[in-house]
Structure 1
Amino acid sequence: MSTRSGFYWDERCFWHAGGNYALTLPIGGYVQPLAAGGLPESPETKRRLKNLMDVSGIMADLHATSAAPAGRDDLLRIHPASYLDAFKAKSDSGGGELGLRTPFAQGGYEIAALSAGLAMQALSDVLEGTVANAYALSRPPGHHCLPDWPNGFCLMANIAIAIQAARTRGQAQRFVVLDWDVHHGNGTEAIFYEDPDVLTISIHQERNYPLDTGDIADRGRGAGLGANMNIPLPPGAGHTAYLDVMDRIVLPAIERFAPEVILVACGFDAGIFDPIARMLCTVDTYGEMTARVKSAAERLCDGRLVMVHEGGYSEAYVPFCGHRVIEVLSGSARTVADPMAVTVAARQPNARMDAFLHDLVTEMASEFA
């Protein structure tokens, strides 16, 4: 088995766009979209992470590769043919929008399939022992996407597609999906809501997005009852609260479930500088959470851990959060310090707020005990 971490990325994923509203260009082929192209989910957070990795030298420590796009059979395990056909037709005819906050340009279907393919290959390689663990820099993201209705910048359910592909190949049957994106992972939840062999855990800012999902009382249905956990936190939760949640709720739940592999929906929009959320996580928060889940994977499932990139909208801060995750994941000595460390330390919750959050976590922990 390999001791190197895998890193799965493709420049074409950075070319996903929502249409060029500032300047009309014939998007497709060799015409790269403008940086954001009218899409709030900008490629620059991901591109700047990859650039930082190149400059720091950490890429030399990783098994870095692209992957084949998810094929139609792979996609059909999650998405109905009617949805895929409508998406492909609109993509071929210049792009548009099929759901809520999911614009895409010409070729968007192929890029979304590639994004899912990166997650698929990362999971497959970890389960086969080709790499020790993996990070998939998938874009567009996937955790909000329902089988037949995309939303929240998500066009295909990347992690769910990867899980069902691994099941079909007989590589594993029992999975944990830990989602620490600041928004509720409603798509992943819905897909596996009645599945007892996929434990879905979402830590999110309460009522941020979507507004009507993510309640702590939503625990699964039928055979899947108890295999879904929502941990909604109030705005202003930071480093201490997130680690408290990990130690007292998330890690015990993963231990009880005993998965064959752990996947993390790795969003960075709980970061302190994110423009569309109000959480106070730091570079150190993401590093500590990664260390904890990596240790759990080593104890429970031979280190099998796959991180799949989701949201995060601060072009300045996301690269440093992502780099720290990959440092910890790979064990690399090529570290990059948080350039905003002094500022973020000064903006963490005060003792009174931390005490309130600790009591809240205590109350939630009792719900899951």
Structure 2
Amino acid sequence: MSTGFFWDERCFWHSGGNYAFLAPVGGLVQPLAAGGLPESPETKRRLKALMDVTGLSRALACQGAAPASWAELARVHPEDFLRKFKALSDEGGGELGLRTPFGKGGFETAALSAGLATGALRAVLRGELDNAYALSRPPGHHCLPDWPNGFCLLNNIAIAVEAVLAEGLARRVAVIDWDVHHGNGTEAIFYDRADVLTVSLHQDRNYPLDTGGVADRGRGDGLGVNVNVPLPPGTGEVGYLSAWDRIVEPVVDAFSPDVIVVACGFDASGVDPLSRMLLSAQSFAKLTDRAMALAARHCGGRLVLVHEGGYSELHVPFCGHAAIATLARSGIAADDPLGPRIAGQQPGAAFDRFVEAWIDDLVVALEI
């Protein structure tokens, strides 16, 4: 098996503005010692470093990719938005949306991030790789066509999907988003489409507060091809795997895609500062294994994971290592130092029954 790993040092150089966690500095908000937004380069850089130290990198086809072209970006984002983004980037940076600051050259870095996702998906569909992981930064799944938000400047996955559809490399694509926040941007871009299935597993009413409801099923040709799986805060591994088995799997089975793309956030981690979920590195390995089984059943194993959120500098590298090692079917391990702690915090049987009843209601609402 050949697993690709797409990355570029320049993506680690993306920088934002003067924030203290999620609040702009000023007034009574004092700058933090560490500075900046939770979306920092260190989670991704430490993941790559951990892979180098364990030797996992040497088991992968590590490579870069060209930035997404203007034409590729314009399939998803209006050209007037792209021109504003490019001009502000050239002038030294700024902010066009909500919590999406960028510095000089931010446009080029975002295009490179989208290019990594596009290169990974294209290589898998051309048969050059069995599967692949794209360490994209900045992330993308919150970005709407003309409004960046939630640290996302361009919608990496949507740009990649539109490219391979336009090139005739695929006709039907399933996007499964297990980032802890609702994939509102990807949903909005494909909401009217029948050729792209979007499924989002997320913490209920985390971010954005007003999207991600189970009743949002798509529109027009896309009716029924958008599926939201909001889960209650505190959902642990048992609940996540149940939601996958009872909702994600049958929905993807019914759609039968040519390729599966996972919006791979690690912010459902038990120690993530932006969520209240309880997953360990092993949990992400199990989700990856399930995604691989789905891909094997429907599309010859064609599967691409694209990095999204995850804000614990300690834990993200171990979660990512577990997912990528599973993707490569590698025995190279990096034991999760927080695994025992998170295992001890898993919900008890009573809460698991509550989550199962919650999933029962979702199954009924989605008519699965």
TM-score (norm 2): 0.95
| 1:36–1:43 contact (8 Å) kept in structure 2 | no
The CA deviation at 1:36 is 7.0
Q: Following the alignment from structure 2 to structure 1, what is the Cα–Cα distance between the partners of residues 185 and 339?
A: 34
Report SS of the residue matched to 1:140: coil
The CA deviation at 1:166 is 0.3
Aligned to 1:78: 76
Q: Following the alignment from structure 2 to structure 1, what is the Cα–Cα distance between the partners of residues 19 and 322?
A: 34
The amino acid across from 1:101 in the alignment is: R
The CA deviation at 1:40 is 2.2
Cα deviations by residue, 1:54-110 (Å, 9 ceiling, x for unpaired): 001001110000100001000000011110010011111111100001000111000
Would you say how many aligned residue pairs link Structure 1 and Structure 2? 355
Aligned to 2:212: 214
Aligned to 2:190: 192
Q: Cα RMSD (Å) of the superposition?
A: 1.3
Aligned to 1:255: 253
| 1:17–1:36 contact (8 Å) kept in structure 2 | no
Moved more, 137-146 or 328-337: 328-337
Q: Following the alignment from structure 2 to structure 1, what is the Cα–Cα distance between the partners of residues 324 and 19?
A: 35
The amino acid across from 1:61 in the alignment is: A
The amino acid across from 1:297 in the alignment is: A
The CA deviation at 1:367 is 2.2
| 1:69–1:114 contact (8 Å) kept in structure 2 | yes
Aligned to 1:42: 40
Report SS of the residue matched to 1:322: helix
Aligned to 1:203: 201
Q: Following the alignment from structure 2 to structure 1, what is the Cα–Cα distance between the partners of residues 328 and 44?
A: 18
Alignment of 1:1-369 (within 5 A): 3-19=1-17, 38-368=36-366, 369=368
Q: Following the alignment from structure 1 to structure 2, what is the Cα–Cα distance between the partners of residues 19 and 151?
A: 14
Report SS of the residue matched to 1:241: helix
| 1:142–1:158 contact (8 Å) kept in structure 2 | yes
The CA deviation at 1:365 is 1.5
Cα deviations by residue, 1:27-47 (Å, 9 ceiling, x for unpaired): xxxxxxxx9762321110000
Q: Following the alignment from structure 1 to structure 2, what is the Cα–Cα distance between the partners of residues 226 and 260?
A: 18
| 2:19–2:37 contact (8 Å) kept in structure 1 | no
| 1:36–1:42 contact (8 Å) kept in structure 2 | no
Q: Following the alignment from structure 2 to structure 1, what is the Cα–Cα distance between the partners of residues 14 and 37?
A: 9
TM-score (norm 1): 0.94
Report SS of the residue matched to 2:138: coil
| 1:7–1:63 contact (8 Å) kept in structure 2 | yes
Q: Following the alignment from structure 2 to structure 1, what is the Cα–Cα distance between the partners of residues 363 and 299?
A: 24
| 1:53–1:59 contact (8 Å) kept in structure 2 | yes
| 1:17–1:39 contact (8 Å) kept in structure 2 | no
Q: Following the alignment from structure 1 to structure 2, what is the Cα–Cα distance between the partners of residues 240 and 92?
A: 48
Q: What stretches of structure 1 of length at least 5 have no aligned partner?
A: 23-34
| 1:39–1:103 contact (8 Å) kept in structure 2 | no
Q: Following the alignment from structure 1 to structure 2, what is the Cα–Cα distance between the partners of residues 13 and 296?
A: 30
Q: Following the alignment from structure 2 to structure 1, what is the Cα–Cα distance between the partners of residues 271 and 209?
A: 22
Change (3 A) 1:21 1:360: closer
The CA deviation at 1:21 is 7.6
Moved more, 358-367 or 145-154: 358-367
Q: What stretches of structure 2 of length at least 5 have no aligned partner?
A: 21-32
Change (3 A) 1:36 1:63: farther
